[in-house]
Amino acid sequence: MSDAEQQGEEGAGIIKKFMFVNRKAPYGTIYALEGLEVVLISAAFDQDVSLAFVDDGVYQLLKGQQTKGIESKNFSPAYRALEGYDIEKLYVEREALEARGLAEEDLLVDVQVMSSAELAELMAAQDVVIGF
């Protein structure tokens, strides 16, 4: 049994609502990338996982990221891989998109766009909120 599976077993029975809140743009800092690494690990624990994209966090989901020039890994494809890990609840704050002149079709993955009020209600209902 792998480490992750074993830990999943030990926590067996407890299912908590985890929300990972992304508020920072990619590449300028490491928070988006290392935040995603936590999300991927959380998939092994059978928890109720959702991701929220607020403020500059919405930039993480933009299509067309091309990182050859900055010689950094383009990790945006990982957002498309989330579905394969049963992480399908991706919430994007409508106000954040609009304030940045973005639309849902600019994003590289299927998301649920919602108002601040709707997102606030979801956040309040979480057990664990980790902001990146």
Q: How far is the CB of 42 from another protein (least distance, A)?
A: 5
Provide the mask over 45-74, with x wherever binding to another protein is found by CB under 8 A and - wherever it is not: x-x------xx-------------------
Closer CB to another protein, 16 or 63, in the complex: 16
Tell me which residues in 78-117 interact with another protein (CB under 8 A): 95, 116
132, 31 in Cβ contact below 8 A? yes
Phi, psi of 66, deg, nearest 5: -135, 100
Q: CB under 8 Å to 12, separation ≥6 — which residues?
A: none
Rule CB under 8 A: is residue 41 a binding residue for another protein? yes
51, 22 in Cβ contact below 8 A? yes
**The residue to which tokens 């909120």 are assigned:** 129
78, 87 in Cβ contact below 8 A? no
Residues that bind another protein (CB under 8 A): 3-4, 7, 10-11, 14, 16, 18, 21, 23, 30-31, 34, 37-38, 41-42, 44-45, 47, 54-55, 95, 116, 119-121, 123-124, 126-132
